[in-house]
Amino acid sequence: MHPHDRVARIVLPVGAAAVLTTVLIVGWVTQPDRFVVGYAPLQPIPFSHRLHAGDNKIPCLYCHTGAQRSRHAGVPALQTCMNCHAVTRMDRPAIQKLTALYKEGRPVEWRRVYLLPDHVYFDHRPHVNDGIACQTCHGEVQTMERVSRAMSLRMGNCLRCHRDPSAALPTGSKVVRGAENCYACHR
Ligand code: HEC
Ligand code: HEC
Ligand code: HEC
Ligand code: HEC
Ligand code: HEC
């Protein structure tokens, strides 16, 4: 074999394959945290959705009042917890920690599970007011002891539903599509 043939037929393809493999592995390993499904950070107070939204059937909107009225669903202020915990389960260590923070006027530093980068615009209102269930995007939160991310925050996930939202909408809905123009989500 001529030395040049050897470079063209073996060394180059093997080198190219090695470079490609490295790029793919590095890309996969370093992909942003917000893409990972199942991300479930430990919270400073072990708040259980299963106990509150499941067993005790407290409506999502009782605590996440913003979901229908503003861009952000919001996480409830301690005052909302104290509506009940000023009288309920006051002997429990977690509730005593909660009460101490409340008396000091300090918020609980909850860790975010769903957070888009600043260059993306999301608004809960058009979704919630069209009748799309919280569970479509967030999973069966009322069964979760600790909130675990159910949807990867990739652009493709938004667009897949925007192109055909029928499965997520209540029967009889007149909505046929969500926005696909860049400005809707990048403004
Ligand atoms: C169409 C998908 C979708 C639906 C439906 C939806 N959410 Fe969200 N939710 C998101 C996304 C995306 C984020 C991240 C938003 C951001 O970072 O700006 C989010 C964030 C949140 C947050 C974090 C705080 C905040 O406001 O950003 C809470 C709490 C929340 N959602 C609760 C709810 C509840 C309760 C419902 C039902 C009433 C609901 N969501 C319906 C997609 C959805
Ligand atoms: C509408 C009433 C109500 C509200 C509002 C409420 N809770 Fe509770 N919470 C309960 C009840 C009832 C239990 C006990 C459930 C059981 O043991 O079956 C409980 C249990 C708990 C526990 C478990 C205590 C233990 O160790 O047994 C924690 C922690 C907790 N709540 C935190 C919170 C936080 C944080 C908030 C605010 C975001 C909140 N709760 C809001 C009614 C409420
Ligand atoms: C008693 C108040 C309460 C109720 C009821 C409640 N939540 Fe929450 N929710 C919280 C608190 C406090 C947090 C922040 C701590 C955590 O992540 O567990 C939270 C966090 C979340 C998050 C993660 C937000 C983020 O990005 O960090 C989602 C999604 C969510 N709730 C959805 C729901 C849905 C859906 C329901 C109804 C099935 C619901 N919640 C009912 C208090 C409540
Ligand atoms: C499960 C389906 C579904 C998912 C997932 C979803 N959307 Fe939507 N979205 C819709 C529908 C349906 C509409 C149209 C609402 C209408 O026209 O009444 C909409 C509307 C919007 C609007 C309002 C557009 C306008 O014209 O003002 C924005 C912004 C938006 N979505 C952003 C997002 C982003 C960002 C994501 C991903 C993080 C996302 N959506 C995920 C179904 C979805
Ligand atoms: C329905 C909402 C939606 C629409 C419409 C949309 N995007 Fe996005 N876009 C997103 C979300 C969500 C992300 C965040 C993904 C991420 O974290 O990288 C994103 C990220 C991006 C990024 C950054 C990618 C990266 O790797 O960080 C670019 C560039 C982009 N979009 C361009 C566009 C262009 C161009 C259009 C119009 C053809 C468009 N987008 C339409 C939701 C949308």
Ligand 5 contact via 179 beta carbon (within 6 Å): yes
pLDDT digit string (tens) for 89-106? 989 999 999 999 999 999
- The structural domains of the chain, with segments of one domain joined by +, span 1-30
| Gap between the Cα atoms of 186 and 154, Å rounded | 14
pTM score above 0.85 = yes
Residue 45 alpha carbon, nearest atom of ligand 3: 15
| Gap between the Cα atoms of 123 and 129, Å rounded | 11
Burial class (CB in 10 A: 0-12, 13-18, 19+), 54: middle
Burial class (CB in 10 A: 0-12, 13-18, 19+), 53: buried
Contacts of 34 (CB under 8 A, 6+ apart): 114, 115, 116, 117, 152, 153
pLDDT digit string (tens) for 135-169? 999 999 999 999 999 999 999 999 999 999 999 99
